[in-house]
Amino acid sequence: MKIYKLYSGKSGDESGYVLSSVLIVGVLLTSFLMSLFVIIIAVQNSALKRLNKKRIDLACQSAIQKIISEDRTESFIKENLFFKFDSITVEANCIQKGLFQEIHVTGKYKGDSSQVIYLLGGKPSEPFSNALIQSRGNLRSTVAGNTFINGSILATSKKFSVGRITGLGRTTMPFYKGTITSLDSILSQPLTDSSYIRLYDFESHHSKITTSLDYYLLNEPNYSNRDKEVNEINVYELELDGKINSQEYSPAYRIFVKGITKINEAANSNIDLEIFSDSTVTIEEYVNLENCIIVSMDKIYINKNSSFRNVQFFSKKGITIDGCEFFYPSIISVNGELNESTRDTSNLIITNSIINGMLILTSNVIGLDANKSKISVDKKSLVHGIIYSENYLELHGKLNGTAYTYNTYYYKKPTEYINWLVNISIDRSKLDKYFLLPLGFKQNLKLKILGAEWLH
């Protein structure tokens, strides 16, 4: 009997074990259902955030489309703009970036946000559909050598005569494929001076946070270890050395230089860099620069085997480029000044180079003998884009695009040939259809997106 009772008691214990197992299974099932519920909620929230993000992105794109579709009388947008799309707030912070327009567009909605930086240029309009524009009044132009222009010509006269220069072949007529249109007057300075003069007003670029040094070596360690709150420094001498590459967005790093600026041999940089120099700037051989603006009150020297992309160089006294390649979009501009005591000899000299972008020469006074400034492109060079000169253009190399000039120029010792088209080769048909001009022209250029960088 005792044995039986013991057996019965054991049987009751097993029933208790079964009940505990059921409870455990119930708890596990409840936990699973709760976890599944949490996952479903998380997936729904994630999907909602993606949907919100997509809506914000579309709002940012709508804002920039609205901006570029509006007619504007000013070349650059200087004020910040605000938009509302449904419940999404979009702010557009507008900045003049060299001769392009930079717009930081930020959209916000229910704690989510998107930010994109747009770079805008101008779609070429009339008269840039022509291959050659000569703006000098009462033009009398002469053609010599192996000159051929594939495209139309706009000038103040249709009178183009054939001339001879010893040692050069006779031009085959017709020397152009297109039409010649004459107007009584053509703007000689369609690029507004206010667009580039501001670049030389260094004080206007200063930020509130700055630091000063006698000498600054800009290299990878110094850039990486910089105070991130300081985006501007003032130095007496600047040297850029080594490789400085960054994949992350950072605001433009501005350096104001009182003395000499030197970019050392084989230096390589893709950071958003702006250099404003009171003195000369020298770029040595094998340099690679991207996303850089250099403004010099003196001369800029650019040496062989260097390459550049998305750069803008401005100089008051002249730029010399030898054996380099500039990728689109690039702007190279000399902005000379003629005064009563000196001649203007601010030249833009291109030798053995490839330029994808725009060459610019401006002058405060045109049509005077004292103005000797010129753009000179040698026969080993190729320009794909626009050449714009408010004085002389000496073109020996090939141009795929448009030349807009006050005078054409050719020199064979001891004679200067003014408004002679000598060995000029221009092919307007080869200008890329997506090519955009810098802003600042008096013609009402339609804004177009040059590039976009999504930050988040």
Q: What whole-number distance in Å separates Cα of residue 40 and Cα of residue 288? A: 51
- Checking if the pLDDT of 136 tops 60, the result is yes
With H, G, I as helix, E, B as strand and everything else as coil, classify residue 255: strand
The length of the chain in residues reads: 456
Helix (H) or strand (E) holding 53: helix 2-69
Long-range Cβ contact pairs of 80-86 (< 8 A, separation 24 or more): 83/59, 85/58, 85/59, 86/55, 86/59
- Checking if the pLDDT of 182 tops 60, the result is yes
- The partner residues of 95 in beta bridges, in order of sequence, read 102
The 10s digit of each residue's pLDDT in 262-283 is 999 999 999 999 999 999 999 9
Task: Please compute the mean of the pLDDT values over residues 247-259 and round it to a whole number.
Answer: 89
Are the C-beta atoms of 257 and 235 separated by less than 8 Å? yes
Supply the pTM of this predicted model: 0.87
Of 91-100, 110-119, 146-155, 285-294, least confident by mean pLDDT is: 110-119
CA torsion 385-284-322-151 (nearest 10°) is 0
- Checking if the pLDDT of 286 tops 50, the result is yes
Residue 18 — pLDDT band, cuts 50, 70, 90?
Answer: low
The 10s digit of each residue's pLDDT in 318-350 is 999 999 999 999 999 999 887 766 676 899 999
Q: What are phi and psi of 9, to 5 degrees?
A: -60, -40
Looking at residue 7, its pLDDT comes to 37
- Checking if the pLDDT of 52 tops 70, the result is yes
Question: pLDDT exceeding 90 applies to what percent of the chain?
Answer: 63
Residue 51 — pLDDT band, cuts 50, 70, 90?
Answer: confident
Residues whose CB is less than 8 angstroms from the CB of residue 50 and which lie 6 or more positions away in sequence, other chains included? none
- Checking if the pLDDT of 35 tops 90, the result is no
Are the C-beta atoms of 439 and 99 separated by less than 8 Å? yes
Q: What whole-number distance in Å separates Cα of residue 19 and Cα of residue 14? A: 9
Residue 39 — pLDDT band, cuts 50, 70, 90?
Answer: low
The 10s digit of each residue's pLDDT in 356-402 is 999 999 998 887 888 889 999 999 999 999 999 999 999 999 999 99
Looking at residue 34, its pLDDT comes to 72
Task: Please compute the mean of the pLDDT values over residues 56-65 and round it to a whole number.
Answer: 91
